[in-house]
């Protein structure tokens, strides 16, 4: 339900204690996002997308459903980063009907991993992305959002980290 204009600056009932859980202040939400910045080497378009997600999370203090919106945008942000970093190798692919067939998220992750740009197990990414892409009844709280967002933020940073001796892992 849309808030009345006189209540726009009031905390959502989930944060005010009237419903759901209590425990996150506006300052705490801001602090969560302040520590999750991308390095300057990450392209501006990815950083802008990432910042929009961080803002949605912070402003969820006023409208709790923005946590779900932030979570849903996390994976398109990752996909944008992957397309910019490894997507060129998939350009020109077409399906049987001659229509463009871009690489999907799992293929992009595999390509980045094969090129040594990222390391680790990413089997969890696509199932969570699908959950948000296809809708559902999932209600998130800040800790449930933070775990995948922290992982995706680290993954994007790793993806654009200069190659060489400074690579960890």
Structure confidence by residue, pLDDT tens digits, 118-137? 998 988 898 888 887 776 67
| Burial status of residue 74 (CB atoms within 10 A of its CB: 0-12, 13-18, 19 or more) | buried
- Percent of the chain having pLDDT more than 70? 89
Model pLDDT for residues 53-91, shown as the tens digit of each residue = 999 999 999 998 899 899 999 999 999 999 999 999 998
Beta strands in the chain (DSSP E): none
Q: Are 112 and 82 in contact (CB under 8 A)?
A: yes
């Amino acid at each position: 339900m849309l808030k009345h204009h006189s209540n726009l600056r009031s905390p959502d009932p989930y944060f005010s204690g009237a419903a759901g859980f209590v425990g996150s202040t506006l300052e705490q939400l801001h602090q969560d996002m302040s520590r999750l910045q991308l390095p300057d080497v990450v392209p501006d378009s990815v950083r802008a997308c990432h910042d929009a997600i961080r803002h949605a999370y912070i402003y969820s203090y006023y409208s709790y459903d923005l946590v779900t919106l932030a979570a849903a945008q996390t994976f398109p942000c990752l996909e944008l980063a992957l397309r910019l970093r490894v997507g060129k190798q998939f350009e020109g692919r077409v399906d049987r009907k001659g229509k463009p067939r871009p690489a999907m998220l799992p293929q992009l992750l595999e390509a980045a991993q094969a090129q040594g740009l990222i390391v680790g197990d990413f089997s969890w990414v696509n199932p969570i992305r699908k959950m948000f892409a296809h809708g559902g009844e999932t209600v998130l709280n800040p800790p449930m959002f933070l775990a995948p967002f922290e992982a995706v933020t680290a993954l994007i940073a790793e993806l654009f980290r200069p190659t060489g001796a400074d690579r960890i892992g």
